[in-house]
Amino acid sequence: ANTNTPKSDKSSVLQPSLPAELYLDPVVYQEELRNIWYRQWLYVGRTDQLPRPGDYILQTIGDQSIIVTRNEDGGIRAFHNSCRHRGSVLCQAPQGQFRQGRIICPYHRWGYSLNGELLSTPFLDLSNENKNLSLYPVRCQSWRGNIYLNLDTSDSVELGKTADPGFTVLNNWPLEQLKLGHSHQFELACNWKIFWENYLECYHCPGIHPELCKLVPLYKAALSTDRLDPDTELADTVASGIESWTTTGKAISSPFPDLSEAECSAGHTFMELYPNQYIVAHSDYIRQVSIIPLAADRTRISAEWLFSPEAMARADFDPTPAIAFSKQVLDEDAMVNELNQRGITALPHQQGYLTPQEGDLALFHQRYKAWMDILD
Ligand code: FES
Ligand code: FE
């Protein structure tokens, strides 16, 4: 990229943010697809969304459509949604089942196995052709019940490499056993980086999230983490007496059994998997949010609430306080995400500034520049 980013002046309280065109320009968006989204691991769904062989879900990123299915041996496989004959799309419904274990092209009805091998070609004998006409494979891996795919064929990035602070931070949560209790998808009229930037700071929290600030005193002080201010006496935990992120402050079920005392009393443990997902683990439930860009100024968000199957089986289980609370926070953030996008289109706006409370955005921008080959 030939985008010049503003130089930082270390003596200044305000550091430059990214140039406005990186949030607005459709050409930059295409470059981001190629340099980031077609190269990094992307969350697809939970393994229990594909219970039987032949069940599939489609994932779309940019102009790429990917089929993720379960084969006869129980393995999860992913393929480009493109026939090897003349390239027709193979399936259109966002999810479904391939009957009799065959992926049949709707155009001339070439048929493929759930491992992608070409098995049948009507009115045609290809037994003497020595071409590999299997479906184009896509790398696909599961981690603790989550399925991820990566369009890069080169093996260059291993799953979890962009996890911050790392997959191990969730070791004590029984993530693979949890069940999807609720999900919520919506589109935001903003660039995907605006969503991340807002997620990464709590400078906005006192004004935008009054309820959340009652739960977490650090956020009321406009800090997203105690790392940002060595002098703060506030810990990165919920207030005393608060058990979880719910409308009542009470947990919706007993804590996951293997959590340490500190993990329980912290009330929240975060893990980011750049560029596409973050996971927030509470003592009683997990919320995971994934992000897919749709255009320079449009982003699809998908939030999922995961609960323990034992808790869900109880007659008196009521997850509403957990779902309602985090939906409210998502809504509050959605509002400012869209305000932010609208404002940066102002003709004289070249770039904004980062305050010390927004230190984690600078780290995100460094990661972004490295992906995009933008020199500082
Ligand atoms: Fe699929 Fe012809 S394009 S069978
Ligand atoms: Fe927020």
pLDDT one-digit tens code per residue, 320-341: 999 999 999 999 999 999 999 9
- pLDDT the model gives residue 4: 66
Atom of ligand 1 nearest to the CA of 88: 3
Half-sphere exposure in the Cβ direction for 207 (13 Å, CA): 5
Dump pLDDT digits (tens) for 58-115.
999 999 999 999 999 999 999 999 999 999 999 999 999 999 999 999 999 999 999 9
Residue closest by Cα to atom 4 of ligand 1: 108
For residue 85 and ligand 1, the question of a CB distance below 6 A is answered with: yes
Contacts (Cβ under 8 Å, ≥6 apart) of 2: none
Handedness of CA 105, 56, 270, 24 (dihedral sign): positive
- CA 4: distance to chain centroid? 28
Residues 354, 358, 360, 365: what is their CA dihedral angle, to the nearest 10 degrees? -20
Nearest to 213 by CA among 202, 199, 197, 229: 202
Half-sphere exposure in the Cβ direction for 41 (13 Å, CA): 24
CB 89 within 8 A of CB 133: no
Q: How many CB atoms lie within 10 A of CB 207?
A: 11
325: enclosing H helix or E strand: helix 320-343
Note the pTM of the prediction, 2 decimals. 0.95
Give the angle subtended at the CA of 60 by the CAs of 59 and 62, to the nearest 5°: 155
For residue 105 and ligand 1, the question of a CB distance below 6 A is answered with: yes
Q: Which ligand is nearest to the CA of 329?
A: 2
Cα(120) to centroid(ligand 1), Å: 11
Percent of the chain with pLDDT over 70: 99
Cα(128) to centroid(ligand 1), Å: 19
Q: Which ligand is nearest to the CA of 105?
A: 1
Kindly give the parts of the chain with pLDDT less than 70. Answer: 1-5
Instruction: Select from 108, 112, 133, 134 the residue to mutate for testing ligand 1; criterion: most ligand atoms less than 8 Å from CB.
Output: 108
